[in-house]
Structure 1
Amino acid sequence: MAEQELQFGLEDVQLLSDDSVYKGFFEIRSLTLKHRLYAGGWSQAIRRELFVRHDAVGVLLYDPALDAVALVQQFRVGAYGHQGKQSADESPWLLELVAGLIDKDESPALVAQRESQEEAGAVIQELVPIHQYFSSPGGSCEFFHLYCGRCDLSAVGGIHGLAEEAEDIRVQVIPVAEAWQKLQRGEINNAHSIIALQWLMMNKNQLWQQLQEK
């Protein structure tokens, strides 16, 4: 007989304490908890630091007529903190998707539209959901909404971003084949962009056919 699958839920966690230990641009909370074990019973009390982030949205801007995508390049402090651990010449300016946090009363789709205009000057004509997932659930509560946005990229490019948010964003329109080569060479090395480009390569023909039928 096959082993019965265990389904654990929120009721299988006991939260013993929850304290804010830092609050700046982001927040860190210290949680002490217990949870049920697969072998039965409960774990010992476990302390974990939780990096608290709003849910986020990313959108791969795609122009089927040009067969090109628009990616943005900007400074990332996480990549700066990793300097020298992989190679001496790695840069903290990453090539990635348009993205933003859901920090207002907006739907993920509205955030995708707004961030595309703010970060790239692009207007999304059709928004296609790719996936929803936890970005790094071992230590962060961020939940990511990933889209592909059909755009006219013929006049997209240049420097964008909001000065009040210290954004300095360079937009590049890149043929899909070239973007794929950059990914394979490791020049695109952030998870959301990798997932979105892999999805596009797998679904591009079907996506183009669906868009033509609308």
Structure 2
Amino acid sequence: MVQGAGPAQTAARAEYLRAVLGPGGPPDGAEGLALAALVLRGVGHLPVELAIRRLPGLRVEAASRVRAAAAAGRGLREGAGEVEAGAVEPSHAGFFAVDVHRLRHRRFDGSLSAELVREVFVAGDAVTVLPYDPVRDRVLLIEQFRMGPFGRGDPLPWQLEAIAGRIDPGETPEAAARREAMEEAGLVLGRLEKVAEYYPTPGAVTEYLYSYVALCDLPDGVAGLFGAADEGEDIKGHLISFDRLVEVMASGEIGNAPLLLTVLWLQRERARLRG
């Protein structure tokens, strides 16, 4: 509830919440509270029909916010503390979403910043996983069309990547990695080795990635064509040796941060994994 809201405004917000989530309301627990708060951002900005269409993404975002709240605390980072944030305004709700934030934050010299108006591209937490066969010393990459390179004007907007996908509500990052490997490559993964977890584009995007290398059996013929038809996916597998992987990276053909980071990690840990 907004502080100071009158009875009519409170009733309108409650009605909006019921219309979007149904009579059962949000689920119990932290994710449910986060979901309700995200839905209520749409009051006065998004029609109910559009909010309902955005609901699957809001569920993913709510789960992401719960994981964010449990993130690592201070170490080297000092931060300046206080953030004065106003109401968030949803400005676009499509395949992805864009929110407008108005805020001020404490600066390192102790002063308070001027009001900042910033658009944030909303994308939920996701995983990447690179299948690695330590016996045959080979990996499986996937290739697919990507809108980022296309929008930049790249004449070849297909990317070589690790297997990747969003983490569903109620799902762990590890479970998401195993599900995505089956969906995008037909693979059953063995032991997962965490590479890192990180914001790939913290200046403007909420996305947070959990990257893994997975020990896996990769015999000849395992690479194929996969992808979820209802999501418009068209995915081709590439089965290559570790040495060829390093050559492709050195040539500049790998152009996305999660795979670059994972290959560098695998270079460091390969002897241990093969042992």
After TM superposition, the score normalised by the length of structure 1 is: 0.89
Partner secondary structure for residue 125 of structure 1: coil
Matched to 1:99, the amino acid is A
Alpha-carbon distance, 1:104 to partner: 2.8
Deviation per CA, 1:77-128: give whole Å up to 9, x if none. Answer: 11111125xxxxx410111100001133210000000000110111101111
**What pairs with 1:186-197 in structure 2 (closer than 5 Å)?**
186-197=252-263
Q: Extract unaligned runs of 5+ from structure 1.
A: 85-89, 210-214
- Structure 1 partner of 2:156: 91
From 226, 230, 242, give the equivalent of 1:176. Answer: 242
How many percent of aligned residue pairs carry the same amino acid? 37
Deviation per CA, 1:175-209: give whole Å up to 9, x if none. Answer: 01101111111111100000000000011112223
Q: Give the structure with the larger strand fraction.
A: 1
Matched to 2:246, the amino acid is W
* Larger of the two Rg values belongs to structure: 2
Matched to 1:98, the amino acid is I
Please tell me whether residue 164 in structure 1 is matched to residue 235 in structure 2. no
Partner secondary structure for residue 135 of structure 2: coil
2-side partners of 1:150 and 1:201: how far apart?
14
**What pairs with 1:38-49 in structure 2 (closer than 5 Å)?**
38-49=108-119
- Structure 2 partner of 1:206: 272
**What pairs with 1:133-152 in structure 2 (closer than 5 Å)?**
133-152=198-217
Per the alignment, do residues 66 and 28 of structure 1 end up closer, same or farther by CA in structure 2, a change over 3 Å counting? same
- Structure 2 partner of 1:132: 197
Q: Give the structure with the larger helix fraction.
A: 2
Q: Extract unaligned runs of 5+ from structure 2.
A: 1-75
Q: Which one is further off, 149-158 or 93-102?
A: 149-158
- Structure 1 partner of 2:129: 59
CA contact (8 A) 2:85 2:104 kept: yes
CA contact (8 A) 2:168 2:176 kept: no
Please tell me whether residue 153 in structure 1 is matched to residue 224 in structure 2. no
Partner secondary structure for residue 124 of structure 1: coil
Matched to 1:168, the amino acid is D
Matched to 1:153, the amino acid is L
From 95, 113, 122, give the equivalent of 2:178. Answer: 113
2-side partners of 1:72 and 1:203: how far apart?
22
From 141, 144, 150, give the equivalent of 1:71. Answer: 141
Matched to 1:71, the amino acid is L
Q: Which has the higher contact order (CA 8 A, sep 6+)?
A: 1
> Aligned-residue CA RMSD in angstroms?
1.4
After TM superposition, the score normalised by the length of structure 2 is: 0.70
- Structure 1 partner of 2:79: 8
Alpha-carbon distance, 1:140 to partner: 0.6
- Structure 2 partner of 1:50: 120
- Structure 2 partner of 1:212: none
- Structure 2 partner of 1:87: none
